[in-house]
């Protein structure tokens, strides 16, 4: 105990730190004692005996010295300072890194990337102790005795040694806890009575869970691993037929004789069980997807990039809407990628199980995009942009996913985020008129 007290006094006095930081000095000296070799242990350290490895000393720094921890890159502004002057308080017990005390906001920052100036001690300028006593470390005094220190430049951090400074979560942080009292004398404290909710009549109704399973949920056909297995099951074959009929109705392709020396992509079937909101089985779902990996740039795909509305644009438009009390409408386009028109020549093999019996060697010349094609997103965006330009909208120069309508006192904005549309107008009649025009695009919105 005497050795511990001497080391704590030395650390605090050398760094000119107030006595309210004694628990950090205690943790520091405990760390040093466990790391340094001892004569009683045959010149080995407790760490070496316990973990069977030699401790390293390259990371040791002077307690209480000036340091500059690196802030994480998730700052609000790029020009925001990336560090601040701090005081080194030791090493955290549950994380790798250094404990740094921020003098400006009195918070502890734990960081692995810190620059040290071991010749400067910030508390030497802020804290000017005169004949500082460390009686609170003696065994003759009560462990919870209050010690005060005064300084005209810096306010005290705590009134008792058991209250640590505030902790801030910056790149990860550990809440520091005080060590147990060093005095074994019993402390007379009032007995605590444990009360429960039941004693105060507080109860929460028990919720009975229904674990029963419907008969239809017990035996849905498993998801097939390939189209051949799916065609052998009546449920999945019916789902595939429904998808195929929808593509034919949408005039997605034309059957043409197979040209020579052209790239022909493959198609894939995606199978899944569609479920209701309560988790019960609803139906079998099969979707045809083009294999975009077999496409070749410059041959059957060119532009694949599609702009997406910026978050700052969304905030700006919503601010205008709220300040002017404009009506707003949100629409979600079903199967948006299937509405995009292809400008490139793309050939695809006929679907397995759905080949034309009269022309089995023909291939599909795609007229509209499919899910999985590299240009599917661009084709949908381009079709939507071309259409809204015919009804009076034009691109915003700073964000091409923002479309602006301005005719006299009438104003309207359309935000496009993939297949989500946000429409806001200066009048409700204008909103209804634009929605009717968008419906003419034969899109299914809700």
Identify whether the C-beta of residue 243 lies closer than 8 Å to the C-beta of residue 287. yes
Helix (H), strand (E) at residue 273: strand 267-275
Q: What is the pLDDT, as a whole number, of residue 192?
A: 55
Instruction: Kindly report, residue by residue over 283-314, the tens digit of the pLDDT.
Output: 888 888 887 777 777 677 776 666 778 888 99
What SS3 class is residue 325?
coil
Instruction: Please state, in angstroms and rounded to a whole number, the distance separating the CA atoms of residues 389 and 416.
Output: 14
Give the CA-trace dihedral at 333, 337, 339, 341, to 10 degrees: 150
**Cα distance from N-terminal residue to C-terminal residue, the chain:** 75
Query: How much of the chain is in helix, strand and coil states, percent to nearest 5?
Result: 30, 20, 50
Instruction: Please state, in angstroms and rounded to a whole number, the distance separating the CA atoms of residues 364 and 270.
Output: 19
Residue whose token pair is 């985020």: 417
Instruction: Kindly report, residue by residue over 191-211, the tens digit of the pLDDT.
Output: 556 677 777 777 777 766 655
Instruction: Kindly report, residue by residue over 73-93, the tens digit of the pLDDT.
Output: 665 567 778 889 999 999 998
DSSP annotation string for 155-199: --S-SSTT-PPEE--SSS-----PPPPS--S----PPPPP--TGG
Query: If we measure between CA atoms, which residue out of 374, 368, 250 comes closest to residue 300?
Result: 374
Burial class (CB in 10 A: 0-12, 13-18, 19+), 245: exposed
Identify whether the C-beta of residue 402 lies closer than 8 Å to the C-beta of residue 414. yes
255 φ, ψ (degrees, to nearest 5):
-80, 125
Give the start-to-end residue ranges of the domains of the chain.
2-167, 218-439
Structure tokens at 106: 């009195």
Structure tokens at 372: 């999985």
Structure tokens at 345: 């020549």
For residues 24-51, b (16+ Cβ closer than 10 Å) or e, as one string?
bbbbbbbebeebeeeeeeeeebebbeee
Instruction: Please state, in angstroms and rounded to a whole number, the distance separating the CA atoms of residues 112 and 96.
Output: 7
Q: What is the pLDDT, as a whole number, of residue 305?
A: 67
Long-range contacts from 190-199, C-beta under 8 angstroms, 24+ separation: none
Strand partners, 425: 412
Name the stretches of the chain with pLDDT < 50.
139-187, 214-217, 443-446
273 φ, ψ (degrees, to nearest 5):
-95, 120
Instruction: Kindly report, residue by residue over 336-354, the tens digit of the pLDDT.
Output: 566 667 777 888 888 888 8
Structure tokens at 21: 């930081």
Instruction: Please state, in angstroms and rounded to a whole number, the distance separating the CA atoms of residues 335 and 333.
Output: 6
For residues 149-178, b (16+ Cβ closer than 10 Å) or e, as one string?
eeeeebeeebeebeebbebeebbebeebee
């Amino acid at each position: 105990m005497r050795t511990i007290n001497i080391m704590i006094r030395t650390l605090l006095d050398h760094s000119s730190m107030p006595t309210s930081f004694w628990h950090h000095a205690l943790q520091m000296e405990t760390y040093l004692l466990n790391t340094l070799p001892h004569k009683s242990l045959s010149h080995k350290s407790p760490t070496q005996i316990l973990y069977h490895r030699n401790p390293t000393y390259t990371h040791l720094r002077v307690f209480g010295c000036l340091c500059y921890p690196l802030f994480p890159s998730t700052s609000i502004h790029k020009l925001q300072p990336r560090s601040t002057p701090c005081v080194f308080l030791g090493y955290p017990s549950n994380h790798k890194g250094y404990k740094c005390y921020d003098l400006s906001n009195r918070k502890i920052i734990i960081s692995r990337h810190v620059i040290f100036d071991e010749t400067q001690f910030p508390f030497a300028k802020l804290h000017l102790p005169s004949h500082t006593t460390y009686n609170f470390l003696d065994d003759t005094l009560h462990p919870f005795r209050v010690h005060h220190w005064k300084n005209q430049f810096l306010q005290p951090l705590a009134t008792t040694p058991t209250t640590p400074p505030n902790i801030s979560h910056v790149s990860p942080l550990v809440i520091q806890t005080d060590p147990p009292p060093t005095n074994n004398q019993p402390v007379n404290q009032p007995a605590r009575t444990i009360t429960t909710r039941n004693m105060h009549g507080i109860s929460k109704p028990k919720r009975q869970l229904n674990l029963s399973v419907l008969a239809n949920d017990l035996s849905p056909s498993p998801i097939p691993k390939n189209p051949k297995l799916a065609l052998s099951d009546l449920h999945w074959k019916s789902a595939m037929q429904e998808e195929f009929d929808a593509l034919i109705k949408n005039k997605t392709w034309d059957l043409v004789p197979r040209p020579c020396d052209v790239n022909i992509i493959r198609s894939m079937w995606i199978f899944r069980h569609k479920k209701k909101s309560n988790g019960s089985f609803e139906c079998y779902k099969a979707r045809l997807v083009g294999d975009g990996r077999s496409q070749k740039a410059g041959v059957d795909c060119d532009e694949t990039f599609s702009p997406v509305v910026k978050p700052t644009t969304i905030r700006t438009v919503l601010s205008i809407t709220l300040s002017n009390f404009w009506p707003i409408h949100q629409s979600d386009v079903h199967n948006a990628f299937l509405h995009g028109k292809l400008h490139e020549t793309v050939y695809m093999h006929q679907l397995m199980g759905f080949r034309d019996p009269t022309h089995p060697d023909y291939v599909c010349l795609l007229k509209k995009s499919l899910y999985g094609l590299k240009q599917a997103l661009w084709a949908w965006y381009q079709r939507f942009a071309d259409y809204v330009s015919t009804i009076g909208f034009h691109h915003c120069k700073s964000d091409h996913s923002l479309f602006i309508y301005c005719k006299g006192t009438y104003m309207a904005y359309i935000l496009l985020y993939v297949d989500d549309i946000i429409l806001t107008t200066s009048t409700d009649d204008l909103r209804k008129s634009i929605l009717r025009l968008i419906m003419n695009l034969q899109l299914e919105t809700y």
